[in-house]
Structure 1
Amino acid sequence: MKKIIVILFLTITTVGYGQNTVHFADSIRKAYNVPELSYAVVDSKSTLEIAALGRHSIDLPDTATLNDRFHIGSNTKAMTAFIIANYLEKGRLKWTTKFFDLFPEWKEKSKPEYATITLQDLLSHKARIQPFQGEDGPKIPEFKGTNQEKRKQFGQFVLTLEPVELSDKIPFIYSNAGYTLATLMVEKITGKSWEQLVEKIFNSDLKLNVKLSWPENQKQKDTWGHSFENGKLTPVPSNVDYHLDYTEPAGDINIKLKDYIKFIQLNLAGLKGQDNYLKAETYKFIHKGIKNYSLGWYNIYENGKELSTHSGTAGTYYTLVHIDRMNYKAYIIFTNSFNIDTQQAVRLLMRKLKENYGS
């Protein structure tokens, strides 16, 4: 009887949180002019709360649904690290594999400072690779061929550039280009492109219905990203000519929130010590094997808590994920706009979710 009462209390409490949070989230969304906002709180086995609020675009009446797709920007990095980890477990790579062990013919034209960089260095942003974030950085030549061929040409170009400096105060340099180099390594040992590996692992094996680039919004109703121009949000159609300067493995996946939850739950279960698609020991290394920034996740210890966190944007969507590694809960927020107001709205909602669910 006591057990039934406890379960009933937890159910009522969760429903109460959900009702309160939806009202709070929608008021925040409206106050900060976020067109669409979806969020979820999950543990390794269940979804504790989930909601989709707002509209696909500021110019459309379409109502948000849980079947909407969002571009997740740099939260793609954790998925690329996941792909690579799969082949590490198969014995095809090691975290300590050196880049030039696989591409010895590139070494002569590359800067000598990169001679010993490893797969682990690239994924944890410790290889001293130029960042290539946004419009900053060196001018990139025009490359030709398939996406994979362009990544190779870009990788060769990146390795001719001066390395950035690291120090005790700057222990890593966040680099989208570093993820291109890491991807070249897994492409080399598998004989498959990153796009093919995404299709195999996330779609064929895990059934996550992952797609690349912007969500399609011209042939069907779905989210429109919104850029911030001249002080206002501007909807961006999916047929806009756009590329990430050959750093797609660092930030160019779109996915439904419900499917992304499945990916996060694999990570939560692994952190709890349960083998699934990857081994539990692999998840633990991915999340906390390296200080500051591990493999696709910021590795944070503060106020007696352990967190894996990451945000993502390519300028038109903004996503934020926090994994509480002590309580084995995750908090996920997806939006289809990006500016200071969107970031503030997401911060406020994240704080509220954590207050409600004990993190």
Structure 2
Amino acid sequence: MRAVVTSLALIVAFAATFLFPLSSFADDGALTSQLENLRAKYTLPSLAAAVTKGGRIVAKGVTGKRMLGGDTETKIDDRFHLGSDTKAMTATIAAMMVEDGKLSWTSTIGDVLGADMPGLTPAFSRITLEQLLSHSSGIPTDDEEMIKLYFSDKSYDYSLHDYRRRIIAEWGSKNAPKIPEGSPFQYANFGYVIAGAMIEEVSGEAWESLITTRIFEPLGLTTAGLGPQATFGRYDAAIGHRIDDDGKIIPMPWGPAADVPTVMGPAGNAHMSISDFAIWADWNAGVGRRGPALVKPETVERLHTAIVTTPEIKNPKPGTPKTGQYALGWGLAKMDWTSRPVLTHNGSNSLNLATILVDSDHDIGIVVTTNFPGEKADAAVREMVEWLYRRYGPNGQTPIQ
């Protein structure tokens, strides 16, 4: 159970294909060289990165092995786990429901799910969709009660759709939201599980189906999927790794322990290649104006607009801002090396780590992934993002061809 708690805690760590000529990108070799330098420095199995500008991938690369100590080289089309970077996709699906008139940002849990959950506490019932997606609802970060619900053996007795609703009803009938002093922000995976159930209720479709047909397919994300990134029984992706209490590193290619419980999907279980992850970044960097028209550009702007200010971090890591804001599935932060706040998010299932940065003012997207968790992975990813922004960003010295 300790490993499970660690897994959930680390999750909290803050266009169709023709639009992107993926085989045509500029890279003078420096990107791949820097990837390898950082991969070796932090002894990671794999490290991948890509940069987009104005509708195309201008640089991408990958280095390392699919498994630490293994022989198979990681390939550019290998799938990496995105963790909580999935949240922005869930928020975008919610925005689709708003545009369709099936939800509003002020729709409450009670409005949408209350008829089938008559025992919900009144304060829980009043939580809005916007509050859920901005982590400002008063629902806490994963606690012991939530973890028991996620991992309960009762999940095997119900469909995924039904079990998602059951855990919402059970927690919501016993608990009420509590807004902390100062900032209402509390990073809550459970809030995204609830938002996923609300989306399912008004659409009549499973969240897993919607993210596939409304996000992956329109954008041409051919490597995208849900759950562990490797095909069951094959080492055909950059597989995740677990670090146990004694520091032993264990490859985790498949099975229930290779990802978060499926009921948590809306909070973070997507995977895809670095190229496809870059397409998602670029679509957001263009504020949806290049197409495909998943939602209107003004709706994308709404998703990117800050809702809540996050609490101040007393001793932030180097390059990490002391405070920031959270929009709908996106964080906003001013880095030492950016002129103003940019969209960003980290994602980890405790076996992998991914990060995304979107600077819509300059139409730039940056994505970095590794199939390893923890502090070394975090340091490598942060250094790589900064290096890429300084090199390919608005003040960079590398020309975009």
TM-score exceeds 0.5: yes
* TM alignment of 1:262-277, pairs within 5 A: 262-270=279-287, 276-277=293-294
> In structure 1, how many angstroms separate the alpha carbons of the residues matched to 2:208 and 2:115?
25
Corresponding residue SS for 2:87: helix
Match of 1:290 in 2: 307
**Is structure 2 residue 384 aligned with structure 1 residue 349?**
yes
Q: Which moved more, 1:95-104 or 1:327-336?
A: 95-104
Paired residues of 2:31 and 2:59 also in contact (CA < 8 A): no
> In structure 2, how many angstroms separate the alpha carbons of the residues matched to 1:337 and 1:290?
31
Q: Which moved more, 1:149-158 or 1:19-28?
A: 19-28
Q: Which moved more, 1:18-27 or 1:234-243?
A: 234-243
Match of 1:175 in 2: 188
**Is structure 2 residue 178 aligned with structure 1 residue 165?**
yes
> In structure 2, how many angstroms separate the alpha carbons of the residues matched to 1:198 and 1:185?
14
Could you give the per-residue CA deviations for residues 228-252 of structure 1, whole angstroms, max 9, x where no partner exists? Answer: 1222432112135456342111011
Match of 1:228 in 2: 243
Shift of 1:62: 0.8
> In structure 1, how many angstroms separate the alpha carbons of the residues matched to 2:289 and 2:341?
13
Match of 1:325 in 2: 360
> In structure 1, how many angstroms separate the alpha carbons of the residues matched to 2:213 and 2:160?
17
Match of 1:315 in 2: 350
Shift of 1:296: 0.6
Match of 2:314 in 1: none
Corresponding residue SS for 2:148: coil
Which amino acid in 1 is paired with 2:60?
I
Which amino acid in 1 is paired with 2:253?
P
Question: Structure 1 length normalisation: TM-score?
Answer: 0.88
**Is structure 2 residue 148 aligned with structure 1 residue 139?**
yes
Segments of structure 1 that go 5 or more residues without pairing to the other structure are: 1-13
The one of 310, 317, 337 equivalent to 2:372 is 337
Q: Give the direction of change, closer, same or farther, for the CA distance of 1:215–1:138 in structure 2 (3 Å limit).
A: closer
> In structure 1, how many angstroms separate the alpha carbons of the residues matched to 2:96 and 2:250?
39
**Is structure 2 residue 30 aligned with structure 1 residue 33?**
no
Could you give the per-residue CA deviations for residues 196-215 of structure 1, whole angstroms, max 9, x where no partner exists? Answer: 11221134433313211001
Segments of structure 2 that go 5 or more residues without pairing to the other structure are: 1-25, 309-324, 395-401
**Is structure 2 residue 207 aligned with structure 1 residue 194?**
yes
Q: Give the percent of matched residue pairs that are identical in Structure 1 and Structure 2.
A: 25
Paired residues of 2:284 and 2:360 also in contact (CA < 8 A): no
> In structure 1, how many angstroms separate the alpha carbons of the residues matched to 2:174 and 2:392?
46
Paired residues of 1:323 and 1:330 also in contact (CA < 8 A): yes
The one of 162, 165, 178 equivalent to 1:149 is 162
Which amino acid in 1 is paired with 2:122?
P
Which amino acid in 2 is paired with 1:239?
G
Q: Which moved more, 1:178-187 or 1:19-28?
A: 19-28
**Is structure 2 residue 260 aligned with structure 1 residue 244?**
yes
Shift of 1:277: 2.2
Q: Give the direction of change, closer, same or farther, for the CA distance of 1:243–1:22 in structure 2 (3 Å limit).
A: closer
Corresponding residue SS for 2:190: helix
Shift of 1:354: 1.6
The one of 105, 112, 122 equivalent to 1:102 is 112
Corresponding residue SS for 1:103: helix
Paired residues of 1:69 and 1:223 also in contact (CA < 8 A): yes
Corresponding residue SS for 1:30: helix
Corresponding residue SS for 1:270: coil
Which amino acid in 2 is paired with 1:297?
W
Corresponding residue SS for 2:49: strand
Paired residues of 2:219 and 2:292 also in contact (CA < 8 A): no
Could you give the per-residue CA deviations for residues 130-157 of structure 1, whole angstroms, max 9, x where no partner exists? Answer: 3227x78563253331111110111112
Question: Structure 2 length normalisation: TM-score?
Answer: 0.79
**Is structure 2 residue 202 aligned with structure 1 residue 185?**
no
> In structure 2, how many angstroms separate the alpha carbons of the residues matched to 1:205 and 1:346?
28
> In structure 2, how many angstroms separate the alpha carbons of the residues matched to 1:115 and 1:240?
32
CA-based RMSD of the aligned residues comes to 2.3
Work out the number of aligned pairs and report it.
343
> In structure 1, how many angstroms separate the alpha carbons of the residues matched to 2:227 and 2:147?
23
> In structure 2, how many angstroms separate the alpha carbons of the residues matched to 1:181 and 1:302?
32
Paired residues of 1:271 and 1:325 also in contact (CA < 8 A): no
Paired residues of 2:357 and 2:365 also in contact (CA < 8 A): yes
Which amino acid in 2 is paired with 1:118?
T
Paired residues of 2:133 and 2:328 also in contact (CA < 8 A): yes
Shift of 1:306: 2.2
Q: Give the direction of change, closer, same or farther, for the CA distance of 1:257–1:33 in structure 2 (3 Å limit).
A: same
**Is structure 2 residue 82 aligned with structure 1 residue 85?**
no
Shift of 1:273: 8.8
The one of 65, 68, 80 equivalent to 1:55 is 65
* TM alignment of 1:248-263, pairs within 5 A: 248-263=265-280
Match of 2:340 in 1: 305
